[in-house]
Structure 1
Amino acid sequence: MKAQRWMWIVWPAFLVAAVLEMLVFAFVDPSEMHWQGHSLNLSREAIYTLTFFIFWGATVVSSALTTLLSMSPFEVNQCPVPSSERPRDCARNGNCC
């Protein structure tokens, strides 16, 4: 289930990062980009790659936050310890850890 959830996060983020990359570089020339007043001494391909991973990282965080907020209270409060391994006081009050 966790692998499936990660694919729900990473794959749409990849697609959105690709679209952002195309939109940004349709209007921005990478050779004219500057950072803190200095020219970037990187090739066009390096700038394309770095910005893609920055866009991908930002959209992964966004998708992960959406997935986290969509979880039910049961999923959030579910005890990770199997009931046979829980301490006695945990089993009495229904809460664990």
Structure 2
Amino acid sequence: MKQILVLWPSFLVAGIAEMVFFTVMDPQQLYLFGQPVDFSPIATYSIGFFGFWLVCAASSLLTMFFLRPGEEINRAAAGPR
């Protein structure tokens, strides 16, 4: 159930980030490692969305990781008793 706490907000933010990014940038004028991107616009939008989603999910996952209380972290580090 914790996956939904990471994936759903990151999905929404990735959608917003993609709309903002591709409002400013034309997918046919993007360059990757000095070479023009030769994908169709739909493929570029899809790859961009999944890239944004991955970055946003990593951010949400790190937030959930750092929200753990110190007792839980110390208990896990001590091992089973």
- Which range, TM-score by smaller chain? 0.7 to 0.9
TM-score by length of 1: 0.74
Shift of 1:35: 1.3
Paired residues for 1:50-89 under 5 Å: 50-79=47-76
Q: Which position in structure 1 is the counterpart of 2:43?
A: 46
Residue 36 of structure 1, CA deviation: 2.1
1:16 aligns with 2:6: no
Aligned length: 79
Query: Which shifted more, 7-16 or 66-75?
Result: 66-75
Unaligned runs of 5+ in 2: none
Aligned to 2:31: 34
Q: CA RMSD in A?
A: 1.4
Q: C-alpha distance in 2, partners of 1:51/1:78?
A: 40
Q: 1:30 Cα deviation (Å)?
A: 0.2
Return the structure number with greater helix share: 2
Q: Percent identity?
A: 32
* Rg (Cα) greater in structure: 1
Higher relative contact order (CA 8 A, sep 6+): 2
What displacement does 1:77 show? 3.4
- The gaps in structure 1 that reach 5 residues or longer are 80-94
TM-score normalized by structure 2?
0.87
